Amino acid sequence: MNKAAVIVAGGKGIRMGGSLSKQYLPLAGKPIVMHTLEKFFSAEPELHLILVLPKDDFEYWKGLCDSHNFVLPHQLVAGGASRFQSVKNGLMALPFADGLVAIHDGVRPFVSEKVIQSSFEEAAKSGSAIPVVTLKDSLRKINPNGISAFQDRATFRLVQTPQTFQVAKLLTAFSVEELDIFTDDATVYEHQGWEITLIEGNSENIKLTTLEDLAFAEFLLASR
């Protein structure tokens, strides 16, 4: 079966500080997103890998690949004005319309190979596979009047990526106009009335968005 992964790093997020977008920040000596691409290649060597970056960053990325001798095969696609548009651009670049595609955040380099492989296996059967993990902390909901209320954390899950789907169905899902309720690819898929399937994620698969996250990432790599 045809398989692809769209690695989304099309934003200009600089919450780490400085002017360098987080996907290019060094982790153990090389850009974060390179670690992410390598993890998918290791899990599924036959994957068609698509990397979505800001168009203005293409030459910078090619320079990074040269300086790090990064030769892993991948296709560059220009990102859009939002994550929805960036994912859609990646989907439009797929070389096939029948198969499976995983959508993954470029700054989640610690997804396990098992989760990647399981996501393809489940999506092939049920149409979708969304990795989730249980909550460890207590949870409270803040009402509009400012009063908080206890929530049973056992009934909630934290959603991760990759979110993997049958290509034909996801192309249909992304053919609609973008809505504010589309917080991830699963919500776009659900908008068609299709039920999503949850799979077990891995707790280390955090999204690196702050300096504290980067420090923790260095610790994770050093401890392996």
Please tell me what DSSP assigns to residue 18: S
- pLDDT at position 28 is 92
Topology of the domain covering 3-129+160-222: Spore Coat Polysaccharide Biosynthesis Protein SpsA; Chain A (3.90.550)
Per-residue burial over 40-55, b = 16 or more CB atoms within 10 Å of its CB, e = otherwise: bbebbeebbbbbbbbe
Mean pLDDT of 77-88: 96
Encode pLDDT of 108-164 as tens digits.
999 999 999 999 999 999 999 999 999 999 999 999 999 999 999 999 999 999 999
Any idea where the domains of the chain sit in the sequence?
A: 3-129+160-222
Cβ–Cβ contacts within 10 Å for residue 133, how many?
A: 16
What is the value of pTM for the model shown? 0.95
Q: What are phi and psi of 171, to 5 degrees?
A: -60, -40
The answer for residues whose C-beta is within 8 angstroms of residue 170's C-beta and 6 or more apart is 91, 101, 185, 188, 189
